[in-house]
Amino acid sequence: MARTTWVLGNWKQNLLREPARNLAAAIAEGLSAARGEVQDERLRVGVAPTFLTLDTVAPYTGEAAIQLRLLAQDVAAQESGAFTGEVGPAMLREAGVRAAIIGHSERRAHFGDHDTLVAAKVHAALAGDLDVVLCVGETLAQRDEGEHEAVVISQLSAALGGIQDPAMRARVVVAYEPIWAIGTGRTATPEQASAMHGVIRSWLASAGLGADRSVLYGGSVKPNNAADLLAAGDIDGFLVGGASLDARSLLDIVSAAAAHAAANSGS
């Protein structure tokens, strides 16, 4: 069966209520046209606003396959309790969130989200009925040293190695985001991304998480490079930062993903 293609926008710490509402409305309005003939689960599109604007964006999102999905940029590692500043999985579910991005490199670099904490967040999210978009990726120095595959495998194994329940495993999507490509305008070449996706897929298969898991790429994806990245094979869509702050750009990336999903629907 063909793997699901994803386009997920990460709005990061951007947009007050009104621009967040306007952007969500514009994406929701253009979504059906951008999806073209792919009006089902073969293509999933979502956005991750700040915690505080989840309620603002929620009315433009929904549970149906063709609707925009609501994601969170992070989640607490605990269900609830005395954890000042944290937002737990049940709170996110109540706000309409379907999935949480976990282990983004900006969280790993600036907020101490080390492998153990990332694993705890993954477990809390899955236990709390949220799907997980797990981010992994290497620094430029690690790539230059030829350590990039080992780094990514170690991140995967720390975050996902302990998940035994097959139903939970089925709810994880991995996003490969080379840190040197995030917000830099420097994209991994289709060959670099595709090679790492092959490594990730092999690890997922060997760890029993299934070779059919979608693996996304993130790092300066724009409308003008999306189709080339998808054509490289093994890339099942994108986690998009900067370009997701513009409705037309995100919708153009959705159109490229829809063409990819339609072309691969029989495979």
Task: Catalogue the active-site residues.
Answer: 104, 177
Rounded CA separation 215/3 (Å): 9
Exposure of 263 in the CB half-sphere (CA atoms within 13 A): 11
Residue 131 DSSP one-character state? E
Q: Give the per-residue contact string, 182-201, with ligand PEP (x = CB under 6 A; - = no).
A: xx------------------
Question: Whose Cβ is closer to ligand PEP: residue 168's or residue 174's?
Answer: 174
Residue type, 106: E
Question: Which stretches of 40-184 are DSSP H helices?
Answer: 54-57, 89-94, 105-110, 115-127, 140-144, 148-160, 166-169
Question: Whose Cβ is closer to ligand PEP: residue 221's or residue 258's?
Answer: 221
Residue 68 DSSP one-character state? P
Residue 78 Cβ, how far from ligand PEP at the closest point, in Å? 25
CB 135 within 8 A of CB 181: no
Residue of 10, 192, 194, 249 interacting with ligand PEP (CB under 6 A): 10
Residue 167 Cβ, how far from ligand PEP at the closest point, in Å? 27
Q: Give the per-residue contact string, 200-239, with ligand PEP (x = CB under 6 A; - = no).
A: ------------------xxxx-----------------x
Name the one range near ligand PEP by CB under 6 A: 31-39, 43-51, 78-86, 177-185: 177-185
Tokens found for residue 37: 């003939």
Binding site for ligand PEP (CB under 6 A): 10, 177, 182-183, 218-221, 239-243
